[in-house]
Structure 1
Amino acid sequence: EEVKIKGAKDCVAGAESRIKEIVDDLENQVTIECIIPEKYHRTVIGTKGANVQTITSEYDVQIKFPDRQQQQQREAAGESEEKVQSEKSDIIYITGNKHKCEAAKKALLESVPISEEVNVPYKYHRFLIGQKGEEVRRFMKTYEVNVSIPQADQESDVITITGVAEKVADAKEGLAAKVKELEKEEEDRVLRGFVLEVNVAASYHPTIIGRRGVTVTEIRKKYDVNIQFPEADKSEDVIKIIGYEKNTEQARDHILGIVSELESH
């Protein structure tokens, strides 16, 4: 049969091209099967069907999921589980152009959630969880995945991330970055914990401390260190300076400068 197209030359050419495209799609229309375990269908479909609607629109195909309601009715009617399963509840049918169907099938399979295990030292887990689980909830929302962290009494390093493959891959990268950040913080805590001891006659301690602690507070702030004096009634000479090694040395020199000045009088 012939189809006659009348109109402006450009419009006719465009219409002809579109008709040929439609005919080609119809001639090459197929129905293929996509096997996905029924337990994942709800996830693949997405909230209010959003995910499957996106796929049908993008690839111009029709997608038919097994009728779950009908299966439940048949189970309720007393039909055996084996018979209901024989209806191939895992099979999804995709209808459309062959190449588009294959692309849509690939997109559906990529929507199936996977679980991957990641080893993260147990000592970091509490930081990943955060206060009342705030950190892990924020992480899951950011990467659109589910994160399972073992109970504290298990002392296990294994964390499980569940979601679609692309999101899981992104989440693994995000988790690795977070672990590096925690490692740096731990290293920094060690460096900040350097302890330098300096012997200063106990009789000079009150002057170094200053009235109401003003002098020692200024030293602490200036060099970003913590300074610990022995208890007054013990008459010990050792003052402990805690912080980055370089900072403790500078604070020590400052204190010894005060001592030198006191001794010169």
Structure 2
Amino acid sequence: MHKYKIYNSFILAADERANKVKSFPGNTSEEHKKCQAVAAATGTRIELSESKDGSLTVVIKGLRAKVEDAHARLVRDLQTQASRDLDIPKDHHRKLIGKEGATLRQLEADTNCRITIPSRDTPSETIKIVGPREGIEKAVAYIKAVSEREVSVTLTLLIT
């Protein structure tokens, strides 16, 4: 085995799969086509195995950065996407975005979610999070924690 090759596998439960149609021998499923496209785009090898309970095991092989990229793409493509709106005070948004958007990009990468924060010119305080349920929960927890820290910093400054 090449020292730079890694393997990553994950399982999508039947109720988490975006495409609910079971595949059968000789049939190239929509999921299989998406995996082929991701494999071609990322230079990885992707294998699928569907179990009797409808869950799908995905194995990705390749160089670390390419495997991570393929994993993120596949989660977005194969897993059921949900969305959640979260109202966070406008003055906390800059902490969530970070310098040149670095904090937001990292949060999106860590959660496999697309997070939309309204521009400062917009009166809306609503942050929209789209992605897998697990990722949304993680993103919401992080965003709320940052917002609560900002509130406590403000209160501390007001008290002293």
Shorter-chain TM band: 0.5 to 0.7
Alignment match of 1:126 (pick from 69, 91, 94): 94
Q: Return the structure number with greater relative CO, CA threshold 8 A, min gap 6.
A: 2
For structure 2, list consecutive stretches of 5 or more residues without a partner in the other structure. 1-18, 22-29, 57-74
Cα offset, 1:135, TM superposition: 1.9
CA distance in 2, matches of 1:142, 1:164: 12
What SS does the corresponding residue of 2:121 show, helix, strand or coil? helix
TM-score of the superposed pair, with normalisation by structure 1:
0.35
More helix by share: 1
Whether contact under 8 Å (1:110, 1:165) holds in the other structure is no
Letter in 2 for 1:34: K
CA distance in 1, matches of 2:136, 2:157: 31
Residue 34 to residue 158, structure 1, CA distance change in 2 (3 Å):
same
Whether contact under 8 Å (2:31, 2:78) holds in the other structure is no
Whether contact under 8 Å (2:95, 2:146) holds in the other structure is no
Provide Cα deviations, 1:166-216, integer angstroms capped at 9, x if missing partner.
Answer: 11111111111111111111112212xxxxxxxxxxxxxxxxxxxxxxxxx
Would you say how many aligned residue pairs link Structure 1 and Structure 2?
111
1:102 alignment counterpart: 54
Alignment match of 2:84 (pick from 116, 119, 131): 116
1:165 alignment counterpart: 133
TM-score of the superposed pair, with normalisation by structure 2:
0.55
RMSD: 3.4
Residue 134 to residue 187, structure 1, CA distance change in 2 (3 Å):
same
CA distance in 1, matches of 2:139, 2:112: 8
Alignment match of 2:103 (pick from 127, 132, 135): 135
CA distance in 2, matches of 1:155, 1:121: 10
1:250 alignment counterpart: none
CA distance in 2, matches of 1:112, 1:185: 37
For structure 1, list consecutive stretches of 5 or more residues without a partner in the other structure. 1-32, 62-95, 192-243, 245-265
CA distance in 2, matches of 1:120, 1:155: 12
1:181 and 2:149 matched: yes
Provide Cα deviations, 1:58-80, integer angstroms capped at 9, x if missing partner.
Answer: xxx3xxxxxxxxxxxxxxxxxxx
1:48 and 2:39 matched: yes
CA distance in 1, matches of 2:142, 2:97: 14
Residue 101 to residue 176, structure 1, CA distance change in 2 (3 Å):
same
What SS does the corresponding residue of 1:162 show, helix, strand or coil? strand
Whether contact under 8 Å (1:149, 1:160) holds in the other structure is yes
CA distance in 1, matches of 2:78, 2:137: 12
Q: Which runs of 4+ in 1 moved over 3 A?
A: 44-47
CA distance in 1, matches of 2:119, 2:81: 23
